[in-house]
Every structure is written in C-alpha cells, then in structure tokens.
Chain A
Amino acid sequence: MKITNEIVEKHGLNLDEFNKIKKILKREPNLLELGIFSAMWNEHCSYKSSRIHLKKLPTKGKQVIQGPGENAGVIDIGDDDAIVFKIESHNHPSYIEPYQGAATGVGGILRDVFTMGARPIALLNSIHFGEPKHPKTKSLLNGVVSGIGGYGNCIGIPTVAGETKFDETYNENILVNAMAVGHAKKNKIFYSKAKGLNKSVVYVGSKTGRDGIHGASMASAEFDENSEEKKPTVQVGDPFTEKLLMEACLELMKDNSIISIQDMGAAGLTSSSVEMASKGSLGIELDLEKVPCREENMTPYEMMLSESQERMLIILEDGKDKAAKKIFEKWDLDFVIIGKTTDTNNLTLKYNDSIQGEIPIDALASKAPIYDRKWIRKKPQKDKVNIKELKKIKIEDALIKILSNPNHSNKSWITNQYDQMVMCDTAQKSGSDAAIIRIHNKDKAIAVSVDSSANYCKSFPLTGGKQIVCENWRNLISVGAKPLAITNCLNFGNPENKEIMGEFAECLEGIKEACEFLDYPVVSGNVSFYNGTNKKNISPTPVIGGVGLIKKLSKPISHNFEHNNSTILVIGKTFGHLEQSVLLKEIYSINKGMPPEVNLRNEKNNGECLLKLINKNLILSSHDISTGGLIVSLAEMSIGSNTGIKIHKPKGLTNSINYFFGEDQARYIIEIKTVDLSKVDKILKDNNVFYENIGMTQSDFFEIEDELKINIKDLYKINNEWYNNY
C-alpha cells in the first residue's frame, strides 16, 4: 500500500514529520510502521510541545524516590512506606462518551499506580463542565459521575476527594482528570526499564479488541462538528477484569519474578513495548500472532494500536514463567509470552515468522520531534474594580447567590455516588479541604487534595500557576498534613497558538516558582493540549494533586466547626482583592483585572505556623480561604457542622464587601478553644503571623454584626438545593 499524503495526515502527522520518518528509516514506512510513528509521535505520547517547559519544573527533594518519567511518581513517607501517585486526563474520550471515557480514565490511572507495585488506596478527580444551561452539560455530568463511580466502586478503591466546576469555557470540551494514590513498600517498587537479553516479554490481562484504535491521536487534535464520529475510538472499561489484573499483579510482585512492567495505556502495545525497550537501551521483538485477540482477523496494525483496557506487558526473569502463569490462571486472566528482548535496538514486529515492521526504538522515543513553539507573555490587566461604583448589593443576598450556585453548592449529589469508605481507612471523606487516608495497619495517614483555578490562570497565568500550587498546599496544611509533593495535569488549548503556548509556559513558570519555594516537587503528571473545539480554546486549567503526611493520626481535622463558644481567628491579612473574584463574576458578571497576588513567603510562614498549632492540638477546626472569600469559607464551616457564628467587623472597616468577599491568598480560618487564645496568640506572634480575632461560634445563627443574621438551617437548604433541582 502506497502511503499518500492523505494517509499521513489522517495519522495526525505533518509532512515534515513524515519526511523525518523517511530519513530515520532510510525508506518509506509501511502502514503498520506509520501507525506506530503516529501513535508515538502524537502530542499525547511524545510531549513534543511541552517537553522543553516541563524540564524546568523542580522534581527532586529528599522526599522523592521517583520523579516524572515512570508510570507514576513515588515519595517517601517514612519507615518502609512509599506513596505512588499520578493524575491523568481523559478529556477527549469523556466528551465523546462520558461514561466510558471517565471510567477508563480511572482504570488507566489505577494501572499506572499498581504497575509500580503499589496497592491503590485512594482515587480523586477534577471534573470541569460547561455552563449548566448548555444542552450537553446535564448528560455529560451524569455520565462522567457514574463512570467514575462505576469503575472505582466496582474495583473497590475509595473515591475520596475531588472538585467539580462549571464554566462556559468548557461548553464544548469538558475536562475529566483522574488521580490515583497507592501505597507500596519502599524496597518493592517496580519500574518499566527492561534489562537483559532474550528475556520473555509477557502479555497479561484482557484480550485485545478493536476499541480505542488511535485514541491517543484523537486526544492530540481539536474537536470539530464531526467529533461524534470518533466514538469508536473510545475504549470500553471493565473494572472487574482490572480488579483481577490488579490482584494478580500484586500477587506476582511478592517475589522477584518481574524485571520490568508497564501498563498498556495510550497507544497500547506500541507505547508499552517501546517504553520498556527504550529505557533499557534494548531491542524488543514481538510475535503478533500470539497476542490474545477478542475479535477475529485482527491485523498487526490493529493489534499494535488498540487501546483495549486492562492489559499489561511484563518482562520476566528466566525460569519464572510457570509460577507466574499459575497466578494469572488463578485469576482467570490471559498470560502469553509474545516476544523477547533483543540487542538490535529495534522494535521488530513479526506475524507468523514474517517481519511486518522494524523501527529503531530511539526513533520512536528519544528522537521523537521536540518543538520549541512560539509563545508570548500575557500583559498584566491593570483594570481595577471599585465596588462603590457598582450597583449596591446586600452581603446577605450576595452570599445566598454564591452558596446556591452550582460551583459552590454542596456536592453530595456527586460524592454519594462514590464509595468513599471501602478499604476502611478513609478517616476524612470529601467535603473538607483534603481527604485523609490512613496507611493500613499504621498510625500515620496521608492527606490528598486536587485543585485548579482556571480564571486566575486565564487572567494572569504566572500568578495563576503559583496560586494553584499554594491553594493545594494550604488544603493539606489545614487538615494537619505536611505537604510533600504534587502531580499535575496540565489542561490547555491548542499549543500551535502562541497565546495558548504562552499560557502554558507562564503557568509552568508560576508552578515552578511556588513548588521550589515550598519544597513541593512535581513527581508525575500529564499534559493535555488541544482542549477546544473549532479554534475556541478552554481557559488554561492546570490541575494540581497534592499529597501530604500526617505522622500520627489521632483525630482528623475537618473544616466543620466543633463547638459553640469557641474563638474564630483568621490567619493572614485580608486586603479585599476583588478582581477575578467569585463575587464579581456571579453578581456583576465582571471578569477583569488581576488575580490576587501570591506572596510565597507569607504562604509558607502562615502555613507552617498553622501546622505547628495543629500539632500542638490547639486547633478544633480549620479551613483555607479560597473562592468566595472569608464569608463563603465561614458559611461552609457553619453549614457542615450546623454551628452558628457571631462575627464582629474590624474597627474602622470602610468596605465590608471587599473584606468579606475578597480573595486574598495565604489565609485560613481556625477555630480554637477560647481558653487557648493566649497560647495561640503567642505562637502566631512569635512566628510573625498576622491574624485577626473575628468572633465566636454560637448555636443556630450565622450572624455578622450589623449586617446579617441567618438561620443555619436556611443556609444549609440554600447550599443543598442546586443539584437536586438540576
């Protein structure tokens, strides 16, 4: 078959890239080879537009065991325990087929974690939808939520935290990011690097079907009106098989049979075999007629490009195949030796002994194209908003409007569809700043949270990038965890557009700066470009997933007030920054100005001091102040606990709206026993932390002196209506 320009284009490659392929091969590729190049050189697998920027991120630290480049990142949590975690996007498939797209997103990220020898202990997700009134939003929301739940519930890993947001920018391109966290023994981590010649390459798991062929290429292009036609490239998930695969792999990992292991994710058999060989500087030879197939007459092209789920590739030590096979048979899974490692440095594909394709491994991996795409810096938007020039609004009315909007409404309609308790180590479920998962059979626990702030990133990406790392860091601090490391999922528009590329580069600069300052390295992640339809790009949405350590878990700290008559303090200074705030957006539809400034020194100092207070058992409850400002955070603490508050305004306050709705950073609300006030005051002052004493908790009423007095039950109702009425 002659490879025409049209065929090349259909494979998502441009003509320059095609010429490069011909140069590498010193001949024209056949269709199978072209397909393999297309799978490995697309944006999703090759990171060709992002790699030069990603390199700048801090990835090291004494807590880091394995940084980016493996199936997932690994960090040290003391003793012989390690935490393995990663976040990944499944945006494009979820828009086309929400249930399966979201489900297989969860399945894929779980495999990344158990491939490394970790038992998954928690799932998180960050999901972004278009406006509620958009005709597709409701069914996408339903499908994605049941897909996430369907997979996690069945496999039996608790889904413990996440975020759900609605914004017009996602009308035609939703985001579905899934994060998995696992626990492993430090000396029992498994990697994907192949070692040794003539070692058996084993295929385990589900059979290969025609689903998902070219899924990774689909995720590397913008949508258009024909996107619906791409349905057949969405994979179908089977959590039951994944459960068996997980148990079988973990059982096999108990001894020393495995040299290297890699899950078949995007670009299936192609990327897994190339990755293992590339890391080990070896060749790999596959006998494709041995691949277990679900359908008849599958061609080598289809086998190599299928993205059928729940499959793994393992390189085994000599003489271990019998025992290994027995384990997979016990779990009713396929186990077939389909090839071997070689010294040719080639990917050699045979079918019934005849060579169907042969490509140098480094051409697919290290020699894949890298682009330094053009990008431009965002100019600071100097617009200021003076609230006094806008239509007057009562604090009470603004609060009610925010608490009843979909972004701030209680999300239990969603979280009740996820099993949050299975495995019986979930000490704090979703709803607080971070979920807390106990390490099985130990006193210690980890805290986990995922966060994003697309509107801040849109208005000024450098600050947005910094802010989102800080917010994630604060969320871990406020439950009493020492933040250790992050994974990031970078959802952006078309990188060939220099403004979008600028958003990417500058968000990353911000992330880098904050991560370096906070000693909060990036250990894994994923880039998703081309989020947009017909040239309309989404707002830049980097999502940060953080993991922190609680050395000794006694009582989980939540954001719900504990008692009446305790004292409420606000840590950090309130300036009243309203630009890019929820208030302006919700009440006035104003979307201008800069996001709140991020002062990393204050972030670090305030956060570390709060951690000290928590470790001295001086904190009853704690909540970071984020979107909606002080008043929305107070309301969340009240609603969750059915406890009221009485707040007095600071003396000489000239603008209550700015004070209560401003979104200044580095702030927390803490509840302390009134008798502990002098102790807390001393520690805060000794550490140069600014704080205000704003009032007390009380029963029944949410009250701000001279402003408002609302019954908590009414506030609860306001906050719990939206989803049930949607």
Chain B
Amino acid sequence: MKSSVIVFPGSNCDRDIAVALEKMQFKNKMVWHKDTSLPKSDLIVIPGGFSYGDYLRSGAIAGKSLIIDEVVKAANSGCLILGICNGFQILTETGLLKGTLLRNKNLKFINKDVNIKVINNSTKFSNKYKKDEILKINIAHNEGNYFTNSNHLDELKKENLIAFKYCDEKGNINEETNPNGSLENIAGIYNQKKNILGMMPHPERMVDEIISNKDGINLFSSLLN
C-alpha cells in the first residue's frame, strides 16, 4: 500500500508517522507543502505538529496551502485520508471534516495516555479492532475539544461516523473520562463516505512496546486489510 505524509513547516510528528507506516510495510513518501502534485497514494496522512506555528488558528494556514487542493481532490475521489492531531484540525479547516476543535476545557496543553473506545469498527481504518475495544493512546494537544452543531452531531450518530470516544479503562464514557471537554467525549470522526478519519489521539506513538504499547498497530493493519 502506498502512503504519502504531507509535511508543513511546523509539522513535528511527520517522522513519527513515517516510522510507523514503514514499520507496517507501507511504501511511504514525504510530500512538501509547496509541492503542487501528489505521488500516487492509497493513503494520505496529515501529521501532528504546529503547522505554521498554529498562528491565526490551529490548522488555518495549512488549510489554505498549495498541496491542500490536491489533498481535497484526492479525498473527493475516494483516497483514504488520515489526519492526526494537528492533521485533524487541518481537515476541519479544509471542510473535509465538519465541526471544529476548540481549546481544551482546562485551557492547558495536555499530554498523557488516555483510554478511547472503538465506536465503529467496520471502516477501512478500524476493521482490525473489536467493537467497543478499549485502547490506551497518547494525546498531546492544546486544541482538542471537538465541537459541532446539533444537526451534524445527529448525523454523526445516525450514520455511525464517530470513530472513537474518550473513556476510562473500563469503558465508561462520561465527563470524568473526558480529558479536553469534547462534545460527547468524541476523540475522532469520519466523513460521510468514511474514507477520511480525523482523530486527536496519536496512534503512531503506540506501535512499539519498549516505548509505549501496541494499541495503535491495528489502525495501520486495518488499512492494509
């Protein structure tokens, strides 16, 4: 499977995701933000970091960069797109995903391992996970507080577009297990066609037992399935 990782000035999880993809046997290429064409790819990843320093608003400037037009074209023709952390923020800025990511409820950057529950396990991104499986995945963000309007929230629920929700190790989803104030503990969502996934937690940080755990691996192996 061929993947491309888009590199913006200020991206800082680009190497991490590339390492994870290569470990999982993806044929990966890095794509510079000033490029105007994409290599042929089955998966495009928009990595975490602080694209353009998060100036103006997280993801706002990256959402208007040269390469993004190509990403939008690819997305509309069904290419798989994964946006992690700042990548998720960028996807909401481009309109490929609806809703927005507000500042964390405690107004502080949060880095810790949190539990998330797999809500939909029947997509290209999640088919190797069990339904309701509880994963422990690292989050690291200042703006991860997902918000959307009630129509869209209904749509997310009705069409099973919620990918993951924050929970505790037993799977309880409530205010106490919500690290950043996200609406209904949402940690990641799909678009309607389910070819685009945006998520705040970092699966690429969870592919190596010495460093953390292997809870992120099945996301990549799902894609290869």
Contacts and interface: CB of A to CB of B under 8 A. Distances in A.
B205 interface: yes
A317 interface: no
A119 to B, nearest CB: 10
Contact of A417 (B54, B55, B109, B138): B109
B16 A424 contact: yes
A65 interface: no
B12 interface: yes
B224 interface: no
Given A421-B111, A424-B208, A239 B50 contact: yes
Nearest to A159: B111
B12 A332 contact: no
Contacts of A150: 109
B211 A426 contact: yes
Contacts of A238: 53
B204 interface: yes
Most chain B CB inside 10 Å of its own CB: which residue of A156, A412, A424: A424
A240 B109 contact: no
B19 A240 contact: no
A422 B9 contact: no
Contacts of A421: 111, 138, 140, 202, 205, 211-212
B15 interface: yes
A420 B138 CA distance: 10
Interface in A321-367: 330-332
B49 interface: yes
A443 B108 CA distance: 35
A153 B108 contact: no
Interface in A121-178: 146, 149-150, 153-156
Contacts of B208: 424
B53 A240 contact: yes
Nearest to B202: A421
Contact of A243 (B12, B20, B142): B12
B211 A243 contact: no
Contact of A418 (B16, B19, B111): B111
B147 interface: no
Q: Which range holds the interface residue count of chain B?
A: 20 to 34
B140 A153 contact: yes
B205 A154 contact: no
A425 interface: yes
Nearest to B15: A423
Question: In the complex, which of the residues A332, A420, A422, A426 has the most CB atoms of chain B within 10 Å of its own CB atom?
Answer: A422
A332 B9 contact: yes
B210 A417 contact: no
Interface string A587-598: 000000000000
B110 interface: yes
A364 to B, nearest CB: 35
A555 B210 contact: yes
Contacts of A422: 12-13, 16, 48, 140
B140 A425 contact: no
Contacts of B110: 416-417
B57 interface: no
A239 B51 CA distance: 11
Interface string B9-32: 110110110011000000000000
A417 B10 CA distance: 19
A427 B12 CA distance: 19
A716 B10 CA distance: 38
Interface string A180-222: 0000000000000000000000000000000000000000000
Interface in B26-57: 34, 48-50, 52-55
B108 A154 contact: no
Contact of B111 (A240, A330, A417, A424): A417
A639 B64 CA distance: 48
Contact of A419 (B10, B109, B212): B109
B68 to A, nearest CB: 17
A154 B54 contact: yes
Contacts of B20: 424
Nearest to A553: B210
B152 interface: no
A155 B34 CA distance: 20
B193 interface: no
Contacts of A417: 108-111
A324 to B, nearest CB: 18
Contacts of A438: 210-211
A146 B108 contact: yes
A240 B86 CA distance: 14
A154 B53 contact: yes
A423 B204 CA distance: 10
Given A156-B12, A417-B108, A424 B140 contact: no
A284 B108 CA distance: 46
Contacts of A418: 109, 111
B111 A416 contact: yes
B210 A556 contact: yes
Given A156-B50, A244-B10, 10 more contacts: A156-B49, A240-B9, A240-B55, A243-B12, A243-B50, A412-B112, A416-B108, A416-B110, A417-B111, A420-B111
12 contacts: A146-B109, A153-B140, A240-B53, A330-B34, A415-B111, A416-B112, A421-B140, A424-B205, A424-B211, A426-B211, A427-B210, A427-B211
Closest 6 CB pairs of A and B: A156-B12, A240-B53, A154-B50, A419-B140, A424-B16, A419-B111
